[in-house]
Structure 1
Amino acid sequence: MGSGGGFLDYDNDGRLDVYLVNTAGPNRLFHGNPDGTFTDVTAKAGVDGGGSVGMGCSFADYDNDGFVDIYVTNLGPNILYHNNGDGTFTDVTAKAGVGDPLWSTSAVWADYDHDGYLDLYVCNYLRFSRADHRRCSYHDVPIYCYPHSYDGAPNTLYHNNRDGTFTDSTARAGVREDPRASKSLGAIWFDMDGDGDADLYVANDTTPNFLFENKGNGTFADISLVSGAAFGEAGVAKAGMGVDAADLDGSGRFHVFVTNFSFETNTLFWNEGGGRFSDRSIEAGLAGPSFVPLGFGANFLDYDNDGLLDLFVANGHVFDNAPLINPSTEYRQVNQLFHNLGLGRFQEVTGSAGPCFARKDVGRGSAAGDYDNDGRVDLLVMNNNGAVVLLHNQARARSWLGMKLRGAHCNRDAVGARVTVEAAGYRLTQEVRAGSSYMSQSDLRLHFGLGSRTQVNAIRVTWPCGKRQEVAPPAALNRYLLVTEPS
């Protein structure tokens, strides 16, 4: 099922580094160099996973010391690496109390109670052990057993105690579900309703997806069914894998995209406002192209800087003998790129996106980030039993603006901050998020494509603690701004 990886800047040099999780063999940390190359610094950093069966990762400055830390999910106890600020990390899992012993998948960070410190939600998948490795078949063809062959495992919400330790607050916060219904693979925190609180969406494999509404008092309400976000249009649970959310129409509302199994189609849950979602996969042009592929990673990004967020999907089957089960599918598959046409419509442009989109891999996690700081968002794709692929964006030059947010009273990474940029005929809202896609994490910086525009008219920031700030538009575009929370 693994694995994931992502972009982070562990040494605060302004260049993105890469962390990769392996299910067999050590995890790897690569330092980003000024010339666009990377250096393996795993041994020095001390973040190789210690022989664990790695699944995914996410990055966040959980203690607000100014350096991003690394959380690794495993089949077995997870690991929290504290960034020492000198290029090395220390395993603080035992002290922190976040060594979830189950089969963990995605992990996502947010300050759900506005105390200035990031909390951690960990997805768990199935109750599985090597001693209970079952054998299954489909019309006499051996296959890995489907999720319904195993009991689900409960997810965990860890509350940050602000002293380097965490407390399991799953039940107290109201996000504990029947573990039989929570075979979770992907998750994302996002402000569903614009009230300033972090809400939680969870993609489940063959069971209904979860949507928890933050009530603003440290507790959540399960609105999965009433919101329309638990099932697609057919009212049947799909095999949810990865998830991302974005403002696709300038409304300021975040729409949720979930990747699913082969012959199910991926799902775009359109945020209608008022806590209601509708399945617009067909209308958006995303259903048909996703019918045969098996989707995992998902990332919204403006790859051509035209001002509209496009969509990348990493594909790959779970059965290495997939053609024996259905001749119309393959184990190794091409990834997909969809161009946002506006008005909630997408067009697949995989065939014209370059030779890298013709190669077939067993895609899993994916992350978006501008690793060479040229203003064009690149992609990192993790493959099962294959090499990682770094896709360098070579789209033609257009205007853009990037932002790195730094919290003062809120969490240092400003995770949960909302930024709205306005320009002539343009309005787009984005959030700072730590963890999304499939077991992966994208760049914490925000990137706004601006097309042919030469200036922006307004930049509005809503910080995670609720403070609102008007940022003076820069005199020139095509640069990264550092925006610091006012004291």
Structure 2
Amino acid sequence: MKITKLIFATCLVSGLQPLLSPSAAFAGLVNASLEQGKTAVDGNVTFSDLAAGDNAGITYRRVPSPRNAIFDALKQQPIYTFEDILTTPWRARGAPGVAILDFDGDHDLDIYVTNGPGANNSLYSNQLQETGQVKFLDLASSAGVAAFNQDSSGVAYGDIDNDSDLDLLVLGTGQPNQLFENQGDGRFIDITETSRIGGGSKYSTSASMGDVNGDGLLDIVIANSFTNWDDQIPLFREPFARNEHNQLFLNTGNNVFVDVSDSSGITNLTGFPEEAAGSASITWAIAMVDYDLDGDLDIVQADDQAAIPNAEQGGFDRGLILLNNDGTGNFTDVTVEANTNQTGAWMGLSFGDLNSDGNMDIFATNLGDYVLNRSVPPGLLTSRWFLGQADGSFTDPGVGELVTTPFGWGTSTTDYDNDGDTDIIFHGALDFGRFVDASNPGVILENDGAGNFTYDANALATSTNHIRRNVQGVAVGDLNHDGFSDIVSVSNFDSPEPIPLQPYSVTYGSPFDETALFVPTFVPTENPGEFVWSGLELPDGTLSVEINSGDNGNGWVEVQGIGTVGLTPDGHVNRDGIGAVFFFTPDNGQTVMQPILGGSSYASQDSLAANFGLGSSLQGTLEVLWPGGVRNRLYNVRNFERLLFPEIPCSFDGYWSNQLEYETCVDTALTDLVNTGVLPRQQVSRFFESAIRAFNESQTVPEPSTILGLGIVLGLGYLSRKHDN
């Protein structure tokens, strides 16, 4: 630290900008090479499924839920009618989710996937570090997270006690949710009862972790649906009678939570008709995310319109519900003001800056344009994106040349081809009773950098055929450490060859028309409205682990945040930086962002690392907005670099009386980070110099004489401190 201070002080005394690493000469060479070099490659990567054929140690099969017996009985009836849809169980084969996480701290990514009662959930330990290959061992039973008796649905994870390992929340349908505390040695213990997180016997779907009140502890929000999935009456006939409110659990420390759902305002939803005021909605996906970039975590939930008519038809619009945080953990429903009250059976959520305008955008999966044929106008139920505006509202631009999109559940926004913009991945299918939708082939939407998307059919063309998988949860992460995002998805059942697929009766001139298919569970008789079971037996669901070829030549950077609450005196952020938003700007490129989420997609969670593509650039600038509003910046982040970015509780754009006050804050924070082992000493000057540069660039440029005078004063101060130390 003394050397860093002396160099910086000398620069200030001379009135010069301090040199940064790499040198200005090197930076000039980099920029020159970029101007003359190749451009980023769009797409041109493919995926292959490691788990196909039960390879790589993946033998997962999703067993049916107990309510599947009801559906089996309906199949044996002489006649199945439209009225029988009401008594057909919802998601009879289960509603599995998947998470990508490093549960054992060995620096490779593992997979957790949920299952049904009478079968273990799976915790697949990646053997990359041990063997150099992406192969897996299922350690769920020995680790204590098998949840054998639970009809498990969604999953989320985070370090709830800030002890530097990841704890696991597993949701149940009609059973208490379960919370497992990581012991740091590969084992977990069930703390559901003592944590008070069980939440009763609701039908939970998704969950998300984040710090809603700024105390450095991860709180938990849980999405619920409707009581009793033995039938579909709440979806089609009684829209509010059995709906269950979502729940917010505040972390009070010592792994104990308190239910603040009512007092926090998350159950005070707007947009219902007067006779349904105070009702709950049906929520499939939920995320804690700082959508308005004001430094606190808001809640976004994907609600299902079900059979309720939309506003134009005399009903009302449920939409994507935005619950805005006032910074203390109190929420207000601003859905109408934000213009996200759009009709839909919203299923999954992902986030990023799709058009690189500096605002966070939302992608949400929906029923799609094929399931209902032309009974609703195309576009009304499209899986699509909403573009964030500076005032916190969103616009709905439609899907452009795609025309339509298929059904979707799980989703992630990631730069799959590392060309420097944010792309969209979404999968999904649904059993509607009479038929099974099979319209989603595994969609990857390639961004042109301006928020216009094309369907990359080639990316998954040689991988598993997702048309024949009833995919639910989806998560992404870099499983093989090549800097490119891989995709993990789980289905609750499959429809392999030779099970027939039939085309929907509508086409729209969309690239998805060709794969708009369905499985006929029941076939029509000669009597209108009457059907008989087709006799098709659909096997249990599978896990797909699709590895990105990563061979298009584009560069990348990976960053993982480290919050320092409890480690340093001034640390405020939870250990893994959940809730932070990272921004990356490649040299000569545009800025993209990636929020670090403690659960999103549908019933699933991505890796906690932020992966950014560089295209042909050799370096770029990284910035982070921490929960609480502090901003840090790091310059000259190089191609192929993996780095840990610690919380430095000194915002370069904060209110400082002078530069010396800011420099002292940064210096103290970096010293604390070194002393606690968070930051290697050799990284100190890099973060210090970047912090000062960011501060200078955020200030109004004064007159040169003022700079020189301030430099002399501050320089003498530095030299004095150096002498004192």
Unaligned residue ranges in structure 2 (runs of 5+): 1-90, 270-277, 306-317, 370-380, 494-540, 565-570, 649-668, 670-725
State the TM-score, normalizing by the size of structure 1: 0.90
Q: Which residue of 2 aligns with 1:256?
A: 362
Q: Contact between 1:461 and 1:468, CA under 8 Å: does it hold in 2?
A: yes
Shift of 1:266: 1.1
Q: Contact between 1:333 and 1:362, CA under 8 Å: does it hold in 2?
A: no
CA distance in 2, matches of 1:217, 1:336: 38
2:110 is equivalent to residue 17 of structure 1: yes
CA distance in 1, matches of 2:472, 2:581: 28
Shift of 1:428: 1.7
Q: Contact between 1:421 and 1:459, CA under 8 Å: does it hold in 2?
A: yes
Q: Which residue of 2 aligns with 1:335?
A: 442
Q: Which has the larger radius of gyration?
A: 2
**Structure 2 residue aligned with 1:86, among 157, 164, 185?**
185
- 1:162-177 to structure 2, matched below 5 A, reads 162-177=253-268
Shift of 1:348: 0.7
Q: Contact between 1:322 and 1:331, CA under 8 Å: does it hold in 2?
A: no
- 1:381-460 to structure 2, matched below 5 A, reads 381-385=489-493, 386-395=541-550, 396-408=552-564, 409=571, 410-422=573-585, 423-456=587-620, 458-460=621-623
CA separation of 1:119 and 1:348: change in aligned 2, threshold 3 A: same
CA distance in 2, matches of 1:160, 1:167: 7
Give per-residue Cα distances to partners, 1:264-297, cap 9 Å, x unaligned: 21131111221211112233x45x341xx32101
Shift of 1:357: 5.9
Give per-residue Cα distances to partners, 1:429-449, cap 9 Å, x unaligned: 222111010000001000000
Q: Which residue of 1 aligns with 2:486?
A: 378
Structure 1 stretches of 4+ with a deviation exceeding 6 A read: 144-147
**Structure 2 residue aligned with 1:51, among 143, 146, 149?**
149
The one-letter amino acid of 1:365's match is G
2:275 is equivalent to residue 201 of structure 1: no
- 1:4-153 to structure 2, matched below 5 A, reads 4-24=97-117, 25-34=119-128, 35-75=133-173, 76-101=175-200, 102-128=202-228, 133-134=230-231, 148=239, 151-153=242-244
CA distance in 1, matches of 2:388, 2:340: 9
The one-letter amino acid of 2:397's match is R
> Secondary structure of 2:592's match?
strand
2:331 is equivalent to residue 220 of structure 1: yes
The one-letter amino acid of 1:5's match is V
Unaligned residue ranges in structure 1 (runs of 5+): 137-143, 232-236, 324-329
The one-letter amino acid of 2:122's match is R
Point out the structure with the larger helix share.
2
**Structure 1 residue aligned with 2:430, among 312, 317, 320?**
317
CA distance in 2, matches of 1:204, 1:147: 16
Q: Contact between 1:4 and 1:21, CA under 8 Å: does it hold in 2?
A: yes
CA distance in 2, matches of 1:49, 1:177: 33
CA distance in 2, matches of 1:318, 1:96: 35
Shift of 1:375: 0.4
CA distance in 2, matches of 1:94, 1:303: 41
Q: Which residue of 2 aligns with 1:270?
A: 387
Shift of 1:202: 0.3
Matched length: 461
**Structure 1 residue aligned with 2:420, among 307, 311, 317?**
307
Give per-residue Cα distances to partners, 1:252-275, cap 9 Å, x unaligned: 211111111143211311112212
CA distance in 2, matches of 1:169, 1:149: 22
Q: Contact between 1:333 and 1:363, CA under 8 Å: does it hold in 2?
A: no
CA separation of 1:240 and 1:331: change in aligned 2, threshold 3 A: same
Q: Contact between 1:350 and 1:357, CA under 8 Å: does it hold in 2?
A: no
Q: Contact between 1:186 and 1:202, CA under 8 Å: does it hold in 2?
A: yes
> Secondary structure of 2:412's match?
strand
CA distance in 1, matches of 2:160, 2:168: 9
Q: Contact between 1:321 and 1:331, CA under 8 Å: does it hold in 2?
A: no
Q: Contact between 2:110 and 2:126, CA under 8 Å: does it hold in 1?
A: yes
Point out the structure with the larger strand share.
1
Q: Contact between 1:213 and 1:221, CA under 8 Å: does it hold in 2?
A: yes
Higher RCO (CA < 8 A, seq sep 6+): 2
CA separation of 1:390 and 1:63: change in aligned 2, threshold 3 A: same
CA distance in 2, matches of 1:357, 1:247: 29
Shift of 1:331: 4.3
Shift of 1:146: 7.5
CA distance in 1, matches of 2:252, 2:607: 26
Q: Tell me the C-alpha RMSD between the 2 structures.
A: 2.1
CA distance in 2, matches of 1:448, 1:369: 12
The one-letter amino acid of 1:469's match is N
The one-letter amino acid of 2:302's match is A
Instruction: Give the share of equivalent positions with the same residue, in percent.
Output: 30
CA distance in 2, matches of 1:146, 1:359: 32
Shift of 1:135: 7.2
State the TM-score, normalizing by the size of structure 2: 0.61
CA distance in 1, matches of 2:238, 2:454: 32
Shift of 1:23: 2.8
